[in-house]
Structure 1
Amino acid sequence: MVYRTLVKPALFRMDPERAHHLTIDALARLGRVPCARDLARRRYRHRDARLSTRFAGLWLENPIGMAAGFDKNGLAVSMLTSLGLGHVEIGSISASASLGNPTPRLFRLPDDEAVLVSYGVPNDGAQAVRDRLRGSERRVPIGVNLVKTNDGTPPTRESVTGDFLDSFTALAPLADFVTLNLSCPNTTAETDYFDDIDRVGELLTALGDHDPAVPIVLKIKPTTDRGRLSDLVAVARETAQVKGIAINLPSASPGDYSLVGRYGSVATRLGAVSGPPVRSLIDAVLRHLAEILGPRSGIDLVAAGGVTSGDDAYRKLRLGASVVQLYTALIYRGPQVTSQILAGIASHLEADGFEQVGDAVGADVWSG
């Protein structure tokens, strides 16, 4: 009630990016107060042993996590890990600091509970984030999402690999898992670099030479091309430390979707649309990946996009996702949406006769 009647109306009267920065700042300040963290945990934690699961070899209290993009610089880790989530992923973070794209670069699509993002990965750089993570308290596993620095220069093998190696070396020791963002939809020079799948293998080989002990997740461009997905899976299987595959948002404009609202000139702006409009695409890609991987592959799937309810999250679990991530739903529905989604998943587990959430993973793909 507080979020819906007071906080959200106030934030939605502001420019979206300013509202975002104020939210992160407030969470960072609250995270430095132990009693505030404890109060948040008591308020938002949904305790149900049936929801505990494993992802990338890690034990999670539940399968719902915070997607990268919300806390780009690791400022609010202490509070975010107290909000009842099973894990939190920060970033994307690059080796060097980046200003990102010119403003405005964040737009609400309220009639569709969606957001258009065209940030261009602004962040403080790996060294600054490393220092913050060292001083943060965490109550759930933390993932660090890494991306090539958006400096506008044409990418080369040396520049891309070197950039990832620098950020990986700085942040991997402080992360429970590392996500390699291979398909950022909001940068100009690097968006298509990893369309050449051999380059994915080259990057993984370079990281492997540094003997990474942390699980690696590949965040890939969404596609329903089964041949391409099969090739990506084959590359992932060649590296023992690759424990997960995540599906990124596509580069598109709101006008590419069948939306309820009319958004004027924003409808033709290029970026990444998040929220319900991308739900069906992500679900289709998820099913293809699950079919290609098969059960007990050792590579877990991460799904985000259009998750606003327990029904949405449970569908992604049954399509093969081991964990489901949120971002846009938190903007429109507030932090209580996590416990509501978890309660919905638990209700579905009971109705379907599953003892653990892991039993539901892939049920619509691998059963029979």
Structure 2
Amino acid sequence: MSEASVSTIPMDPKRSQELFLFTTPLVGDFVAKATGRSLMLPINRLGEEDLDLTGYQAGLAALGISPYKIRFDNEKGFLEFMENYVYEQYREGALEVSEEQLLVCNCGAVEILNEATAKIEKRTNGKTFRILPNGKIACKKCKSAATLLTTPCLMRLPKEQSVGVVDVQPHPYRGCVLDHLSIYFGCKHLISRQRETAMKVNLQGTEFHLDNDYIWLHYGRYLRTIGENPDVIVASNHSLRKGAIYAAFMAECGDEPINLVVTPYVDLTKQLGDCSVKALSAKYPPSVLRAFMLIHLNWRVQNSKGDLTWLRWLARVVNEIDVRAGEDSLIAGITNKIKGHNLKTGLVDLKRGKELSSGQNLSLSLIKS
């Protein structure tokens, strides 16, 4: 078994021009350094073999995130693992082939179990669809209204899930994570797609394309089966459901819970000037950008707004602030292999436990603000 590591869930690098999309790798970097772990950054490359990582790696460099190991969820070994895993799950009765009614659009982006649409609020829009005034579902991509199709489907059946397999930090997210896992493992799920995807299986004489999300959600599980040891997963609160399921699948093939560290979300839109990583890194060194990210990590709110005026101030005073002490303060609550601690509590504990310099106190106040 390899050394323990901190990992994000597989990330899409296509939007890596936005600074705060690097929050999860940055927090992963904090945690890895604090706990003596390595940092693993999986890339979601299923169906996109020519994905350009230049912008993503430039963003990591702009924030001084190093060292790290990049892996890809379309590697041959993983796809072979998933094929065998699906056949095994089918033999064990965890998956079944059944006739289902689907709502599908012309391009295939929308594919929903018809029975699941009863749970969709009339005014709720999804990632790929929107609700028309007449109540019908329309695809955001091809604009067509979804129509009914009855066809054989590959379904994941409900399964009892052990409570406590995912240890959540900070603790206020624990209830939400348990709710997500209870709902996911308590319901049946469509895991096949009519459109072509990264891999397919043949069951009962029918060819099924596996949903790409279902595939990559098992990537962490695969890593553990080949001797890698990611035992800490970092995910944004905007990806909480997927982060929880990803961690739960990993925990199924080990004796210890998987730690899930949830990061807050910071929005830097509607700011004056160019907010891209490329523009900001041309003006400010990693120490300033790390401090800028650090002061916006607020676990007390779901979403917060980034303020570029902090950058101009930080550029003047960052040399006077012990930024490393600020980072240590942030992760002080998880030094005991992360379990059982609250990230914010660590700030208070550190201040109580030692005499801090004026620079460290300033850094601490920035994090808590």
TM-score, length of structure 1 as denominator length: 0.30
User: 1 or 2, which has the higher strand percentage?
Assistant: 2
Query: Which has the larger Rg?
Result: 2
